Amino acid sequence: MYPTRGIQVPVALGKSSITDWILNPYPDKPRVVFGQDGSFKLTVFADIHYGENPWDWWGPEQDVNTSQLMRTMLAMERPDYVVINGDLITGENTFRENSTTLIDTIVQSLDDAKVPFSSTYGNHDNQVNITHVEEIVRETSISPFSYTRRSPPSVGGVGGPGNYWVPVYEKQTDISPVLVLWFFDSRGGVHTNGTAMPDWVDESVAGWIADETEAMNVAWGPPESRSALAFVHIPPHTIRAVQETLNSTINPGLNADELGQGSTQATSNPASAGNDQPFWDSLNTHVKNLRAVISGHDHGNEWCVREPTYDVIFCFSKHSGYGGYSEKGWGRGVRSLVFRSSLPSDEIDTYILLEDGTVRARVLLNGEYR
């Protein structure tokens, strides 16, 4: 256990406006804040894949190893905030009677470290015996450190309830945040009846983004004063094209998964390609100072690149779990992002950290990064 930096007990705040209180989605939770030194470190676990092959000895052993990896990385990085970026569970291997109890094991490491966290959910989290909403309900009911939320009832489409945002403040007494963390549900997998589920962020999310950002601007003032990060498990379909332009010097990191059918949103069925476009357009139009969009899903990729259509930086997370597919030499670990200050103009240091302490694919995300 180590001292907590990213979470503090809130003090009584004057109600500056009704809108401000409407835009505080966590009235009963401590505010997430930057550290006393002005920095903020966010660490991303992805594709941890608990519950794989529970009927074989090696399945439960994988979960033990993944829990040890999480404890090791938390102790090494000491983050202010953690994101689990999808595929928490290998849902096709779960049973109805115990599927959500895997969440208890997953969050234990985070609870022990007393670090606030959020989750996105992936295609393996929607299966016959498990759903995104069931995992969200379980996570939020057992962990006081979870900031995961459910979408409003009309947002996210069937199977996609995990669209929400988390404000991050410079100081606990500030009225307006300096950073907004956005989380989106790319669905995928199957319905509980076994039929395929759409693998893209539902079109309804586009209008919700526009409404939320408008309310933020009214309550908190112009968006130029704050930054944003976005997390979604399956990469947007537009990322498939930019892989062909990677430069291993500018865009370092493992590049072992060729993006194709099933590897980005709306590509499992070529006829549906582009169905995530309303979401992608709305995100990049309405969320200002979007510093990066971060996805998991493709275990063999670690790189960052600038997507030219909207001039936004995209990064892959790092495959963190002992479950899920892998190859020799890929390694397991996390992606961390370090804000050196709360200024939207300041650069972000990001890198991949492996469980053996190796650092690779380190880049600075700023206006010059390509």
Instruction: Determine contact, residues 139/83, Cβ cutoff 8 Å.
Output: no
Estimate the crossing angle of helix 204-220 against helix 277-286, to 10 degrees.
10
CB atoms under 10 Å from CB of 42, counted, come to 27
Residue 311: what residue type?
Answer: D
Residue 22 has pLDDT above 80, yes or no: no
Question: What is the pLDDT, as a whole number, of residue 33?
Answer: 98
Residue 12 has pLDDT above 80, yes or no: no
Instruction: Determine contact, residues 358/329, Cβ cutoff 8 Å.
Output: no
Question: What is the pLDDT, as a whole number, of residue 43?
Answer: 98
Residue 282 has pLDDT above 90, yes or no: yes
Question: How many Å from the N-terminal Cα to the C-terminal Cα in the chain?
Answer: 38
The three-class DSSP label of residue 198 is: coil
DSSP secondary structure, 63-118, as one string: HHHHHHHHHHHHHHH--SEEEEES--B-GGG--TTTTTHHHHHHHHHHHHHT--EE
Q: Report the side by side order of strands in the sheet with 304-307.
A: 7-8, 31-33, 164-169, 179-184, 227-232, 290-295, 312-316, 304-307
Instruction: Determine contact, residues 268/262, Cβ cutoff 8 Å.
Output: yes
Give the pLDDT confidence of 90-103 residue by residue, as tens digits.
999 998 877 788 99
Give the pLDDT confidence of 293-346 residue by residue, as tens digits.
999 999 999 999 999 999 999 999 999 999 999 999 999 999 999 999 999 999
Question: What is the pLDDT, as a whole number, of residue 268?
Answer: 62
The three-class DSSP label of residue 283 is: helix
Q: For 217-231, what is the mean pLDDT?
A: 95
Question: What is the pLDDT, as a whole number, of residue 270?
Answer: 61
Instruction: Determine contact, residues 304/251, Cβ cutoff 8 Å.
Output: yes
Provide the token pair at 133: 């909403």
Question: What is the pLDDT, as a whole number, of residue 23?
Answer: 85
Token pair 């999808």 in the structure block, residue: 86
Question: What is the pLDDT, as a whole number, of residue 269?
Answer: 62
Q: To the nearest whole percent, how much of the chain has pLDDT over 70?
A: 92
pTM: 0.94
- Alpha-carbon distance of 119 to 306, in angstroms, equals 24
Task: Tell me which residue of 369, 209, 178 sits closest to 287, measured CA to CA.
Answer: 209
Half-sphere exposure of 48 (CA within 13 A, CB side): 29
| pLDDT class of 267 with cuts at 50, 70, 90 | confident
Residue 5 has pLDDT above 70, yes or no: no
Instruction: Determine contact, residues 307/243, Cβ cutoff 8 Å.
Output: no
Mean of pLDDT over the chain: 92
Question: What is the pLDDT, as a whole number, of residue 343?
Answer: 95
Residue 228 has pLDDT above 60, yes or no: yes
Half-sphere exposure of 358 (CA within 13 A, CB side): 10
Give the pLDDT confidence of 25-52 residue by residue, as tens digits.
999 999 999 999 999 999 999 999 999 9
Beta-bridge partner residues of 182: 165, 230
Instruction: Determine contact, residues 174/40, Cβ cutoff 8 Å.
Output: no
Give the pLDDT confidence of 119-157 residue by residue, as tens digits.
999 999 999 999 999 999 999 999 999 999 999 999 999
Q: Report the side by side order of strands in the sheet with 40-45.
A: 117-120, 81-85, 40-45, 333-339, 348-354, 359-365
Provide the token pair at 199: 């693998």
Token pair 């988390």 in the structure block, residue: 166
Question: What is the pLDDT, as a whole number, of residue 213?
Answer: 97
Question: What is the pLDDT, as a whole number, of residue 97?
Answer: 79
Alpha carbon dihedral 130, 135, 136, 142, in 10-degree steps, equals: 150
CATH of 7-365, picked from 3.60.21.10, 3.30.1330.60, 3.40.50.150, 3.10.150.10, is 3.60.21.10
Residue 169: what residue type?
Answer: Y
